[in-house]
Amino acid sequence: MLATYLPAAMVVLMLIAAPAAAQPAAPAPAPATALTLDRAIARALERDEDVAAATARREGASARVDRARSALYGELTVSASATQRFETTSVA
C-alpha cells in the first residue's frame, strides 16, 4: 500500500521544492554597527511605552502648573483711540 502513495508523494514534494529553488537568493544583510551602552539606553527610552506615558503626564502637569500660576499675575489691557478734527476756514 505504501508503494502506491510513494510516487504521488514524490511528485508533491518536487512541486513544492521547485518554486523555492527557482527563487533568487536573498541579498546579504547589511553589516550591523556596534551598539554602545548610551545608544542602547536611548533606544530603550524612546521605545518604552511607560516612559512615553510618564513624559505625557509630566508635560500635562507642567501645563496645569503654568495655568495656575497665571492666575497669580495681574491682567494688563491696553487700548488707544485717536480723533482728528477738520476745521474749515473761509477766506473773505
Model pLDDT for residues 61-90, shown as the tens digit of each residue: 999 999 999 888 878 889 988 888 877 777
CA distances from 24 to 12, 18, 77 (A): 22, 12, 74
The predicted model gives 16-38 an average pLDDT of 70
pLDDT for 12 equals 67
Residue type, 5: Y
| CA distance from start to end of the chain | 137
pLDDT for 64 equals 95
* CA–CA gap between residue 53 and residue 59 (Å, rounded): 10
Please check whether residue 29 is in contact with residue 35, taking contact to mean a CB–CB distance below 8 angstroms.
no
pLDDT for 57 equals 96
Return the higher-pLDDT residue of 47 and 88: 47
Q: Is the pLDDT of residue 21 over 70?
A: no
